[in-house]
Structure 1
Amino acid sequence: MKKVLATFVLMVLAGCSSQPPSDSTPPKRKSGDFSAVAQTMVAASTGPEVAAELTRRYRDTRVNCGKDSMPAFLCSGILLRGTARANGFDVWDPSPTAIRVGGTSFSYVRSDYKMKRLAFTYNKGLIFYPILSVPAGKENIEVLCFFPIDGSSDRRSDNGCGAISGYPGTVACNAQNIRTGEQWAANYRKYVPGEHTIAGVCSFDVRDAANNAAGPNFHEGMVGGRAISPRAFDIPNDVKLKTWAPGLARTLPIEAFFYYVRDGKSGLADVQIDQRRFKELTGVAIPIIKTTFPNTLDESMTFVYQAADQAVD
């Protein structure tokens, strides 16, 4: 996958993209990560531009980013993470659970893969840049696996992508020879005939090492989630990212903070605390974006920048 991604970046530098390259030289990255790829995209510089870019990616329903080795999440859709009030650590730092597991949970939303809420009772959070748009000087956090619906990944082995002891249907999809969305849905229904449980939820491998299988695996995961709709709309999906080190506020690829109104309660006041704290540490004002999650599959998520929502300049 690295070879294909590097070729793609060279194409961008040659003028195949409408986005300008960065003026700075991309930093060297550690091998074994997606971060081995030089990044050249420029971050949106204003709140309205961020909201417009999120809307554009949400509507971008491509199957992959040009090759089977380049899953769609590298360039389209939104990778977001719901966060609670910080309890002894900053919300962008890994939690004790994420450090123990070695994986950190996000969700993926796109106009053709919707969900109506965040996990637990979260009503605010943060959004990471997609890997092919990470600005120079920022970390590339590897995406490891995709659960089309919540699979209690914090209870699993292999950075949260493996099995849960005692549940054979939770073994990683490829180890069960589950290759398609239809097969995933059949496995889910086999173990989950009634209310949702984790018993039949396996993960699709989308990590760097999966190479040409990564793109099809992610696509088939979305096919599988749609096949059990509306359950995968009602219950958030889970994308496991490799847990990063604490204290990386300056280099984490945070594109935006966001909030929404859930059960009559707005997450704005809490996310403003996050925005203030982030600027205090880094000197950078990350915009707060007001989001609206769909109530039905016919509705779409919206992303709006409002000057009055910002706690810092």
Structure 2
Amino acid sequence: MEEVFNMKKLLTLLALSCITACSSTGGRAPEQAIVAKTATVESAVHSVSAESGYDVAARLKARYGDTRDDCGAASKPAFLCSGLLVRGGEPSTQYDIWNPSPTSEKNGGVSFSFLRSDYKMKRLAYTYESGFIFYPVLSTPQGKELIEILCFFPVDGSSNARINGGCDEHPNYPVISKSCEQQNPVIDTAAKWVGKYRADAAAGRSKYEAMCSFNVSDSANSAASGRFLEGMRGGRLISPEAFDKPNDVKLKTWPQNIPDRLPIEAFFYTQPAGLAGAQLYQRRFRQLTGTTIPIIYIPLPQTLDQSASFSYIPADQTQ
């Protein structure tokens, strides 16, 4: 029998291995401790080595080109080991980009997009030009949070207004916008998802608000890989809509002010104008944690024939 992947078990194992390393900080650091720590680390110079930055860019490029269907089991969806989970944001000195928004705290989900060479998108949500990338769950470094992936919308599903992590029904379309496995009849293939998507549009409904999401959470177990794969197939069937409008992957909301525990692999920008924002994130993250995360330039494809590229540029990095 195939072993079922369970994030809770993985969390337990990593927690045990982290006991010694985490004991000096007493577990989760309160916001006051982070503020106090800032004064200690902000005067030090922490720079990204060229080798580490180039390595990160090469790793991101490799995952972008890795088009596997799953990560070795029906319970291990492809996003656990391939592709990129990216979140864009608006640069600001009033809040930190990695902190969940009030909306995310209310509905329990944070929106990312899945980027891979066989599931391209031309822009970030809200046309943001900078953001950050999480490590895939199966490559999460020791001591970092394992953030659960909850559901997948092949294109933007107006998830901020939805309940249950942003994955369930939209208030404008109760019942018919519930997650795909709750639909009657159940929607479990790309063709069925596309059929509903087009039927909603033909009926004059908002196809984004009436859309159903594919539940790929830990509770989905052996159904998770197939659901994610069918979701991507569904997006391709409505091409170029899924290229023009970013997909929406909901991750479980994490606590505020824990930058040192988040699995941030890189900061990035997609347009030259986005570099200043990425530099703001890098500088602020170093100020709070003493660690410098590299900035990677990722211009996105503007046609389906193009692909994203990944460049580590030493001059982009802050001191």
Shorter-chain TM-score bucket reads: 0.7 to 0.9
Q: Which whole-Å CA distance do the structure 2 matches of 1:286 and 1:60 have between them?
A: 23
Q: Which whole-Å CA distance do the structure 2 matches of 1:301 and 1:279 have between them?
A: 27
Q: Which whole-Å CA distance do the structure 1 matches of 2:179 and 2:97 have between them?
A: 29
Task: Report the Cα offset of residue 166 of structure 1.
Answer: 3.5
Q: Which whole-Å CA distance do the structure 2 matches of 1:198 and 1:153 have between them?
A: 9
Task: Report the Cα offset of residue 6 of structure 1.
Answer: 7.3
Identity within the alignment, %? 52
The 5 Å alignment of 1:100-249 reads 100-167=106-173, 168-176=175-183, 177-193=186-202, 197-249=207-259
Counterpart position of 2:38: none
Kept in 1, the 8 Å contact 2:197–2:207? The answer is: no
Counterpart position of 2:306: 299
* CA displacement 1:249-304 (0-9 Å, x = unmatched): 0010000000011xxx6100111011000000000000000001001111111111
Matched, 1:4 2:4: yes
Q: Which whole-Å CA distance do the structure 1 matches of 2:305 and 2:82 have between them?
A: 20
Q: 3-state DSSP class of the match of 1:107?
A: strand
Kept in 1, the 8 Å contact 2:110–2:252? The answer is: yes
Matched, 1:267 2:267: no
Counterpart position of 2:44: none
* CA displacement 1:208-235 (0-9 Å, x = unmatched): 0100001101000001000100001000
Q: CA RMSD in A?
A: 2.4
Counterpart position of 1:14: none
Quick one: structure 1 residues 45 and 70, their matched pair in 2 at CA, closer, same or farther if it must change by over 3 Å? farther
Matched, 1:27 2:18: yes
* CA displacement 1:180-231 (0-9 Å, x = unmatched): 0111011100012489741441100000010000110100000100010000
Q: What runs of 5+ residues in structure 1 fail to find an aligned partner?
A: 11-21, 29-43
Counterpart position of 1:74: 80
Counterpart position of 2:60: 54
Task: Report the Cα offset of residue 86 of structure 1.
Answer: 2.9
Please list every run of at least 4 consecutive aligned residues from structure 1 whose deviation after the TM superposition is greater than 6 angstroms.
Answer: none
Q: Pick the structure with greater CA Rg.
A: 2
Counterpart position of 1:309: 316
Larger proportion of helix: 2
Kept in 1, the 8 Å contact 2:4–2:222? The answer is: no
Counterpart position of 1:289: 296
Task: Report the Cα offset of residue 243 of structure 1.
Answer: 0.3
Counterpart position of 1:34: none
AA partner of residue 267 (structure 1): G
Q: Which whole-Å CA distance do the structure 2 matches of 1:255 and 1:105 have between them?
A: 17
TM-score relative to the length of structure 2? 0.83
Q: Which whole-Å CA distance do the structure 2 matches of 1:85 and 1:230 have between them?
A: 29
Q: What runs of 5+ residues in structure 2 fail to find an aligned partner?
A: 20-49
Kept in 2, the 8 Å contact 1:106–1:239? The answer is: yes
Matched, 1:93 2:114: no
From 278, 283, 287, the equivalent of 1:280 is: 287
Q: Which whole-Å CA distance do the structure 2 matches of 1:68 and 1:3 have between them?
A: 9
Kept in 2, the 8 Å contact 1:189–1:200? The answer is: no
Comparing 279-288 with 80-89, greater Cα deviation is found at 80-89
Quick one: structure 1 residues 128 and 171, their matched pair in 2 at CA, closer, same or farther if it must change by over 3 Å? same
TM-score relative to the length of structure 1? 0.84
Task: Report the Cα offset of residue 3 of structure 1.
Answer: 5.5
AA partner of residue 216 (structure 1): G
Quick one: structure 1 residues 67 and 281, their matched pair in 2 at CA, closer, same or farther if it must change by over 3 Å? same
Task: Report the Cα offset of residue 248 of structure 1.
Answer: 0.9
Kept in 2, the 8 Å contact 1:58–1:78? The answer is: yes
Task: Report the Cα offset of residue 170 of structure 1.
Answer: 1.6
